[in-house]
Structure 1
Amino acid sequence: MIKLALALIKRLIIGVATDKNKRSKFLTLLESIVVGILLLLFAPLAVFMSMGEIEPPSVDVQFDKAAFLSQLTPEQQADISAVEADGRAIADAMAARGLQEQTIKAQLIYMSYFDGNRITDFAGYADHFTQNDEQLIYSLNSDYSLDIDYDEFRRTYTLVMNSTINEYMFTDRYTKNSADLAAWCRNAVASGWGFDDYCIGERTGENNLRCTSNIGLITGYLRYNADSSSFTDDFISLYYTEQGSIDTIPDIQGVGVFNGTDFGVYIGGGEVVFSSAIGGCVEQQALEYGNWKSWCTFDAVNYPQEVWDRVNELHSEEENEGE
């Protein structure tokens, strides 16, 4: 059953990825029933099988996990329990290695491609996710004798991630901090967010994809409530302070960059994420390739002491030059 569910879902995801007429309805349906990795896998199967066709209904779908499980045989329920246990083991292994942001990726790959090849060394599995995606797929194929198609994986993963907001990316769900702002921006890139002047991360438009404006990429994080998985209705203005020229930027994730008009967020490793009206999406690029003039801090974001030490250092240098 697990293999059948996964095969059907992958066909649906890949199919609607290039069909605009089906995409909007399917994503609306998927959003309402993706609650954890099990619901991602089994709810669509239950819905589509009950309809007898692949055309989502026009009414909201509520997935009742208990009712669904009650219709399964003991063996099928045991399969689902095993999947749940493996999903938790993967989450724990990823957290132990500081790779929480990639938890859904690790769960999705395992549950999509390891059917009949259940593993027990989840620590070793988690170690593969320190690489970029191309290296990751190559090493998984090599080490586990799999045949994962990279392009298929990217289409599936991007669409799945776009249907929800990654709950595993936050290091502190209750404090608006620079590390989580950087994680928020990395997630927007990985999830294929588009550009829209009036959005902060909501799903909109004919494709029903998540979009954000340039400033909205930052204020969306500030307005997002991780507990309720929703954006607050409070309007938030983006207040910032330019701290120095771009060549003085500290290597701290979550500091802002500014070109006089648009903002970006430095995510470490010499990389910046920003929402681009020209590109029509959230983009990631090397800091050196952008036309960034200065770096800044955002007033509503908590930064580590290293940032303020850098600010004080720059102020001292300016004072010494003025003497």
Structure 2
Amino acid sequence: MSATVAAALKKAAVYILGDEKKRGKLFVLIGSIVVGFIGLMCLPVAVLSSMGSMEVGPPEIDKSLFNESAIIAGFDSEQQAKITEIQNSGQAIEDAMTCAGIRSQTIKAQLIYMSYFGRVQNFNVESYANLFAVAPNDSDLIAAINSTYGLEIDYDEFMRTYTWVMNSTINEYMFSDESTKNCTDLAAWAANAYISGWGYMNGFIGERNETDRIRYADNAGLVLGYLNYDPMKKVFDSHYDTLVYTEQGGIDTMPDVAGLGLFDGSQHGIYVGNGEVIYSSESLGYVTKENVSSGSWSSWCTYEGIEYPQEVTDAIESLNEDSSLEN
């Protein structure tokens, strides 16, 4: 996408987001269109890009018309060819990211490519994916992409866009095993909520608020959301309405396994590795991340409905044996 098109996209997005009725139509569009490689993102961006030279009116719109075939049919042959090109490029990026073992970053890679690579020549998708694989953080990633391709991507600006895009959907690429509820994917779920800028709202488990169309979860709801989300159907169900947990031991006895729960006597956090925990904070009003050592976490726990590796089972058995000896 060229700089001109990117500017048109921003202009259209700001215009729509400033009007409640138009904003609702935009989010319907994002939430209902699944087109090829990026599902809930690619085609809406293409639509918004084309809107840069159009007048956007406020008429009532039949939401049933927001589907792939109906929208593509409204484009001319050149626009349809562009969408096909975007889909093919995006699929190639998805395949490369999967091969590189960083499937969860697929949307990020596709968004950067689609937004900034309109003038990049001799693009190699494997080399591109490798930049994501070796970058220790997003700041270094953007710097590496700028250096490699001669771009001038503003890190803060991109992250705002990326957060907004991620909040509009549930990242389908983050799950390692869609057939089970496991601690690895629970950690990925928490990390996605943090990256996507979920807010705190009582009674929510990750669904979007109908008023502002932002995703929210309360403290227990961050875990309940993962338990209730069906990644194959891409919907929330209601199998779990209460978070059932078992405190296993003090923080100093916790195995270093991402996806374990942390508890401070009143609120839950999800350990995501590297000494960090993610939780939905009522006092802050959003999902946040901190070092475990910086909080008041007193014990680690397991949750009913989540599968854990043998390392966790062994740790629990060891704690139980020690408790038996003390008694």
TM-score (norm: length of structure 2) = 0.88
Contact 1:32 1:60 in 2 (8 A): no
Identity %: 43
Contact 1:34 1:40 in 2 (8 A): yes
Find the residue that maps to 2:321 and give its secondary structure.
helix
Match of 1:318 in 2: 323
CA distance in 2, matches of 1:216, 1:99: 27
- Tell me what 1:92 maps to: 95
1:42 aligns with one of 21, 27, 46: 46
Question: What is the alpha-carbon distance in structure 1 between the residues aligned to residue 323 and residue 3 of structure 2?
Answer: 64
- Residue 65 of structure 2 is matched in structure 1 by 62
Please tell me whether the aligned partners of residues 219 and 237 of structure 1 are also in contact (alpha carbons under 8 angstroms). yes
Question: SS of the residue aligned with 2:63?
Answer: coil
Distance 1:56 1:117 in 2: 39
Residue identity opposite 1:11 in structure 2: K
Residue ranges of structure 1 left out of the alignment (5+ in a row)? none
3-state SS in 2 of match to 1:195? coil
Contact 1:10 1:156 in 2 (8 A): no
CA apart distance, 1:57: 5.0
Closer, same or farther in 2 for the Cα pair 1:118/1:177, shift >3 Å?
Answer: farther
Deviation by residue 1:241-291 (Cα, 9 ceiling, x = unmatched): 111101111111110000111100001111101000001000011111111
User: Structure 1 pair 269/57, CA: closer, same or farther in 2 (3 Å)?
Assistant: farther
- What displacement does 1:165 show? 0.6
Alpha-carbon distance change, 251 to 118 in structure 1, aligned in 2, over 3 angstroms? farther
**Per-residue deviation at 1:14?**
5.4
Give 1:16 shift. Answer: 6.4
For 1:7, the aligned partner's letter is: A
**Alpha carbons of 1:56 and 1:279: their partners in 2 closer, same or farther (altered >3 Å)?**
farther
1:133 to 138, 151, 166: 138
TM alignment of 1:164-243, pairs within 5 A? 164-204=169-209, 206-243=211-248
Question: Helix, strand or coil: the match of 1:52?
Answer: coil
The aligned amino acid for 2:180 is T
* In structure 2, distance between residues paired with 1:65 and 1:294: 48
Question: Matched residues in 2 for 1:20 and 1:249: separation?
Answer: 49
Q: 1:13 to 1:246 in 2, by over 3 A?
A: farther
User: Quick check: 2:269–2:278 contact (8 Å CA) kept in 1?
Assistant: yes
1:3 to partner: Cα distance: 6.5
**What are the ranges of 5 or more consecutive residues in structure 2 without an aligned counterpart?**
none
TM-score between both structures, scaled by the size of structure 1: 0.89
The alignment status of 1:157 with 2:162, answered yes or no, reads yes
The root-mean-square deviation of aligned C-alpha atoms, in Å, is 2.7
Secondary structure, aligned partner of 1:196:
coil
CA distance in 1, matches of 2:22, 2:74: 29
Following superposition, the deviation at residue 119 of structure 1 comes to 4.8
Amino acid at match of 1:171: S
Whole-Å Cα distance in 2 between the matches of residues 56 and 208 of structure 1?
Answer: 20
2:8 is matched with 8
Contact conserved, 2:5 with 2:52, CA < 8 A, in 1? Answer: no
Out of 114-123 and 292-301, give the one that drifted further: 114-123
